[in-house]
Chains A and B, each alone.
Chain A
Amino acid sequence: MLTFLFWNTNGKPLVEAIVELVEEQSVDILILAECEVAPAKLLMALNRNVSLFYFAPGNSPRLVMFTKFPDRYVAPAFESDRVSIRRLALPARAEILLALVHFPSKLYWSEDSQMLECTVLAATIVDEERRAGHSRTVMIGDLNMNPFEKGMVGASGLHATMARTVAERASRVIQGNSYPFFYNPMWGHLGDWLERPPGSFYYERAEQVTYFWNTFDQVLVRPALLDRFRSKEVRIIDRVGGTSLAMLDGRPDGQNASDHFPLLFKVDL
């Protein structure tokens, strides 16, 4: 069982919070977006008691990764400014692909542009799956889109469905073209039922349509990995030890922490 933690730290020097969270949740793979802390400094902090973590370098400047195993087990397969696809090949375990993503913000990109970029990302992932010879893929990141947006659900986009039973169909054909599914457990993290954070990011603007809470930080899983993935273990985290990452009204505390909450999930490998 591998425990993953993804956090867009919004360029904040959150070394203590990161380390505490990693220790508290026994994280095996740490992925950060918008991390301005030097990797060496964070590595020293992660290994302050025991040297468990390794830095897993890639060429995507917006995403950094630390693992509890040497970086040769998580070699880059595809790297671009906002996407890093790694082949996680641990000894005696089935290889999986990890697609790490930090998509452009809605502040700078229109919804249409984000949607079209999803088709590029989806094609890139399929290319790498073809090269790897399997589709055991997990996509993780700050998509800057909600699970219900067209780029997320559209067939030529990420094609990420809310239901395992639908994803289990593996793919569907439209106009003669086959599109593989992702399963998106983040649909279950919209709103505040079960007294969880209503999303991972809060944004409010004086216009007709605003969602207030957004679930931009997401994990998507291909059908080939569904039996190794537990939806109930996916958590948006708003507290580290005794410290809240939220303000009194529950919104992410962008001053003292990040404007995004961390995302935790587990995969049986």
Chain B
Amino acid sequence: MPEEAVDFWPELNSAKLRTPLLILKEQAALLGKHTQNLVVASVNTQTSSAEFVHRFIIEAPTLNYRYELFIISHDLLLYPVQVLSGPLGHFTLGMKFNTEEEFVKWLKDVLNSDQTKRILGSLIAQVEA
């Protein structure tokens, strides 16, 4: 009888992790509630070598229009999150967030920024026109 292999692996638990992608998806899903789904948001994720790249897209489906609000990336360990592009005043080259709290604070600022409000306001006005 062969001996049963000893399992070196630890107990794995991913449930407690709030990934940047999950945080972005939550916010994307909430936008439609404020706009009767006239303007919605989505997250487009790609991998680039060791990086996960997330694009936050604002969409007006009835106009067939898409606008990329910002891009972030991170490696397998999720943090730090690096901002690759973003709205004016909320993006500088090399901008990084080392923790979930820092990233969430930045995200809240971006979504509430004057530029984001102006983009959403213009899109809703065009959709309703």
Q: What is A's interface to B at a CB cutoff of 8 Å?
A: 38-40, 43-44, 47-48, 51, 53-57, 70-72
Give the complex CA separation of A242 and B33 in angstroms.
30
Cβ contact within 8 Å between B62 and A57: yes
Distance of A71 from chain B, by nearest CB (Å) = 6
Interface residues of B (CB under 8 A from A): 32-33, 35-38, 40, 42, 61-62, 64, 127-128
Residues on B with C-beta less than 8 A from A56 are 61
Shortest beta-carbon distance, B45 to chain A, in Å?
12
**Are the C-beta atoms of B64 and A40 separated by less than 8 Å?**
no
Does A70 contact B40, Cβ atoms closer than 8 Å?
Answer: yes
Q: Is the Cβ of B42 less than 8 Å from the Cβ of A55?
A: no
Q: Write out the residue numbers on chain A whose beta carbons fall within 8 Å of the beta carbon of B61.
A: 39, 54-57, 71
Contacts beyond the supplied A40-B62, A40-B128: 11 A-B pairs with Cβ under 8 Å:
A44-B36, A44-B38, A44-B128, A47-B37, A48-B36, A54-B40, A54-B61, A55-B62, A57-B62, A70-B42, A71-B61
Please tell me if the beta carbons of A54 and B64 are within 8 angstroms of each other in the complex: no
Q: How far is the CB of B60 from chain A (nearest CB, A)?
A: 9
Contact B127 A40 (CB under 8 A): yes
User: Is B42 touching A39 in the complex (CB atoms < 8 A)?
Assistant: no
Assess whether B42 is in contact with A53, with CB atoms less than 8 Å apart.
no
Q: Which residue of chain B is the closest to A58 with respect to CB atoms?
A: B64
A48 CB, nearest partner CB in chain B, Å? 8
**What separation, in Å, do the CA atoms of A71 and B62 have in the docked complex?**
11
Q: Which residues of A contact B32 (CB under 8 A)?
A: 51, 54
Which 4 pairs between the two chains have the least Cβ-Cβ distance?
A47-B36, A39-B62, A40-B62, A55-B61
A43 and B42 in contact, given A51-B33, A54-B61 (Cβ under 8 angstroms): no
Q: Is the CB of A43 within 8 A of B64?
A: no
Minimum C-beta distance from B34 to chain A (A): 8
Instruction: Give the residue name and chain of the A residue nearest to B29 (CB).
Output: A70
A73 to B: closest C-beta gap in Å: 11
Complex Cα distance, B35 from A55, in Å, reads 13
Across the interface, do B64 and A57 meet the contact criterion of CB distance under 8 Å?
A: yes
Residues of A within 8 A of B36 (CB): 43-44, 47-48, 51
Determine whether the beta carbon of B62 is less than 8 Å from that of A51. no
Instruction: Identify 22 residue pairs between A and B in the complex whose beta-carbon atoms are under 8 Å apart, listed by A's number.
Output: A39-B62, A40-B62, A40-B127, A40-B128, A43-B36, A43-B38, A43-B62, A44-B36, A47-B37, A48-B36, A51-B35, A51-B36, A51-B37, A53-B37, A54-B32, A54-B40, A55-B37, A55-B61, A57-B61, A57-B64, A70-B40, A70-B42
Chain A min CB distance to B38 (Å): 6
Chain B residues contacting A43 (CB-CB under 8 Å) are 36-38, 62
* Inter-chain contact A38/B42, CB cutoff 8 Å: no
- Give A57 to B64 CA distance when docked, in angstroms: 7
Residues of A within 8 A of B33 (CB): 51
